[in-house]
Amino acid sequence: MDDQRLLARLNASGDNKSTAAIQENVLVGIIFREGVFQRPSGSFLGRACDNVLHEDPQNAENRLPYVGDYWNDNFSSFIAFNNCLARVWEDRDFGGVSTPWTGAMGDLGILDDEGSALAFD
């Protein structure tokens, strides 16, 4: 994730306002198994975010109440795209402790390999 041109292109994928389908099927985030954005990774598509931050994850533009068995308690960093900020929760359905809303975290701290839910807003 050191390629700044690639990051700019990924972030711009939601800029085309010509069709609603494009706006609702853009890259909103990537989680990484290892810290500092190292492989392997999982990508999430959703709606481009509107720069309105909702503290309640139930109101976030893109919610993932459970990351699935493969990723549960098994990722260490993330990056959000297309105007989104991301937040990770310890437990499924947005329970337990969580990270703050932020655009990227190369180290989840106490939530390293403990995340079970995600939201992009």
pLDDT in tens, 64-89: 999 999 999 999 999 999 999 999 99
Q: What is the pLDDT of residues 19-69, one digit of tens each?
A: 444 467 999 999 999 999 998 899 999 999 998 999 899 999 999 999 999
For residue 101, give both structure tokens. Answer: 């809303």
Three-state SS annotation for 16-44: CCCCHHHHCCEEEEEEEEECCCEEEEEEE
The count of other CB atoms within 10 Å of the CB of residue 18 is: 7
Pair 75, 42: CB distance under 8 Å? yes
* Residue 119, beta-bridge partner list: 63, 87
pTM (two decimals): 0.82
- Please name each of the domains of the chain with its CATH number: 4-120 (2.60.20.10)
Measured CA to CA, the distance from residue 61 to residue 80 in angstroms comes to 13
